[in-house]
């Protein structure tokens, strides 16, 4: 009869402290009703919209561009590589209806001026109007220990994650406001934008920074009715993932050994599902949801009950995961030191 006794005990507590219990329930109810966005219907609808996809020639960006074309959107793909761009353009046109406008623009988005110009060029067939939905998927990852990173790699790693999206975001926000238009900006951060470990000093700062920009902009754009979202995917199969793994330090590999990268189309599907539901922070994996509830700084939640579960589990589970990651670093320590010794990294010979 343990359940009955528990209920009876709780009833007693309620009888002794009715005001307290009512306050807690009212607060919880308010949280459920107003905090969870159940009454903010999402109006995500790509059909007929101009969608601007950076990094859209491979991986997540390309999968997303294909999905948007299939839904009847006009799509502009922006990336540096012209060969991949032309290929993507052909692939997208093959699945588009004749009235859909499909464009490819080659631009180096780590440059502010190129980012602004690409946005202007994309707007030309639309009477100069800013794209409606922007999906900022461009970015790359080259994990490396800080000791092995040149200054240039440290800098380029950051720029290729943060500025590659931030310049476009600033240009788009200003254009939308000036044109009295609204729209949506979707940043793409990463699980490694919630937490980080050995090997990611060139990468996590940029992914955290995107979250800082997005968290601030989400609040600020309530003024202008521009919607901000941030996607926090785990590993996605593709050329980006292969290049990342080619040089990944041994300890970083070990920490991630149980992670499974998913297909770009699957990740894109999770992103659009979140957009349709009106979520602010969108994940493609339950592990990222655990991280989210211990890392999101109180931004609007998604599903109240699921979030409660994630919060309870991650409050205890997440520090445990971090401890095992720390243990992996300690276990891999000697191999790194031996390697540095062999490569003559140190100024002076080993003593003792």
The residue from 121, 299, 303, 309 that contacts a second copy (CB under 8 A) is 299
Q: Is 84 a catalytic residue?
A: no
Pick the closer one to a second copy by CB: 65 or 166.
Answer: 166
C-alpha distances out from residue 102 to 4, 72, 74, 123, 134, Å: 64, 11, 6, 12, 15
Distance, in Å, from the CA atom of 166 to the CA atom of 211, rounded to the nearest integer, reads: 11
Residue 140 touches a second copy, criterion: CB under 8 A: no
Helices (H), the chain: 2-16, 18-30, 59-70, 82-95, 112-123, 151-159, 163-178, 204-220, 239-247, 250-255, 264-277, 286-295, 304-343
Catalytic pick among 44, 162, 194, 203:
203
Distance, in Å, from the CA atom of 268 to the CA atom of 58, rounded to the nearest integer, reads: 12
Sites for a second copy among residues 202-231 (CB under 8 A): 203-213, 215-217, 219-220, 222-224
Sites for a second copy among residues 62-81 (CB under 8 A): none
Pick the closer one to a second copy by CB: 282 or 325.
Answer: 325
Residue 194 touches a second copy, criterion: CB under 8 A: yes
Burial 293-331 (b: 16+ CB within 10 A, else e): bbbbeeeebbebeebeebeeebeeebeebeeebeebbee
Pick the closer one to a second copy by CB: 121 or 269.
Answer: 121
Residue 112 touches a second copy, criterion: CB under 8 A: yes
C-alpha distances out from residue 283 to 29, 30, 106, 155, 300, Å: 25, 25, 29, 27, 14
Residue 279 touches a second copy, criterion: CB under 8 A: no
Binding mask 315-344 for a second copy (x = CB under 8 A): xx-xxxxxx-xx--xx-xx--xx--x----
Sites for a second copy among residues 4-63 (CB under 8 A): 5-6, 8-9, 12-13, 16, 27-28, 30-31, 34-35
C-alpha distances out from residue 34 to 135, 215, 312, Å: 27, 19, 21
Catalytic pick among 84, 207, 208, 310:
207
Q: Is 203 a catalytic residue?
A: yes
Sites for a second copy among residues 168-187 (CB under 8 A): 170, 173-174, 177-180
Pick the closer one to a second copy by CB: 57 or 123.
Answer: 123
The residue from 70, 155, 273, 277 that contacts a second copy (CB under 8 A) is 155
Pick the closer one to a second copy by CB: 201 or 285.
Answer: 201
Give the contacts of 256 (CB within 8 A, at least 6 positions apart): 235
Give the contacts of 100 (CB within 8 A, at least 6 positions apart): 69, 72, 73, 74, 75
Name the segment binding a second copy (CB under 8 A); options: 41-49, 118-126, 155-163, 232-240.
Answer: 155-163
The residue from 85, 139, 183, 199 that contacts a second copy (CB under 8 A) is 199
Three-class secondary structure of residue 116 per DSSP: helix
Residue 268 touches a second copy, criterion: CB under 8 A: no
Active-site residue numbers? 203, 207
């Amino acid at each position: 009869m343990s359940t009955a006794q528990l209920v009876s005990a709780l009833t007693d507590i309620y009888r002794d402290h009715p005001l307290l219990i009512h306050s807690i329930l009212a607060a919880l109810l308010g949280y459920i009703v107003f905090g969870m966005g159940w009454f903010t219907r999402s109006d995500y609808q790509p059909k007929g919209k101009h969608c601007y996809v950076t990094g859209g020639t491979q991986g997540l960006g390309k999968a997303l561009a294909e999905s948007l074309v299939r839904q009847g959107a006009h799509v502009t793909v922006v990336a540096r590589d012209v060969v991949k761009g032309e290929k993507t353009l052909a692939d997208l046109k093959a699945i588009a209806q004749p009235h859909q406008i499909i464009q490819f623009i080659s631009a180096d988005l780590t440059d502010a001026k190129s980012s602004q110009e690409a946005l202007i060029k994309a707007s030309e067939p639309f009477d100069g109007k800013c794209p409606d939905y922007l999906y900022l998927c461009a970015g790359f990852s080259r994990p490396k220990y800080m000791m092995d990173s040149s200054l240039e790699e440290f800098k380029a790693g950051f720029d290729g994650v943060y500025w590659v999206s931030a310049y476009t975001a600033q240009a788009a926000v200003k254009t939308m406001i000036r044109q009295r238009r609204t729209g949506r900006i979707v940043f793409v951060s990463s699980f490694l934008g919630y937490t980080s470990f050995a090997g990611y000093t060139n990468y996590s700062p940029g992914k955290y920074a995107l979250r800082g920009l997005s968290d601030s902009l989400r609040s600020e754009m309530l003024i202008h009715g521009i919607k901000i979202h941030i996607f926090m995917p785990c590993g996605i199969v593709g050329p980006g993932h292969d290049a990342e793994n080619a040089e990944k330090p041994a300890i970083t590999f070990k920490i991630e050994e149980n992670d499974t990268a998913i297909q770009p189309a699957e990740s894109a599907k999770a992103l659009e599902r979140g957009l349709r539901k009106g979520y602010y922070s969108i994940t493609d994996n339950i592990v990222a949801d655990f991280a989210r509830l211990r890392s999101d700084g109180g931004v609007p939640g998604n599903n109240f009950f699921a979030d409660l579960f994630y919060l309870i589990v991650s409050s205890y589970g997440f520090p445990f995961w971090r401890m095992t990651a720390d243990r992996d670093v300690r276990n891999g320590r000697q191999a790194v030191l031996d390697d540095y010794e062999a490569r003559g990294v140190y100024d002076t010979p080993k003593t003792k």
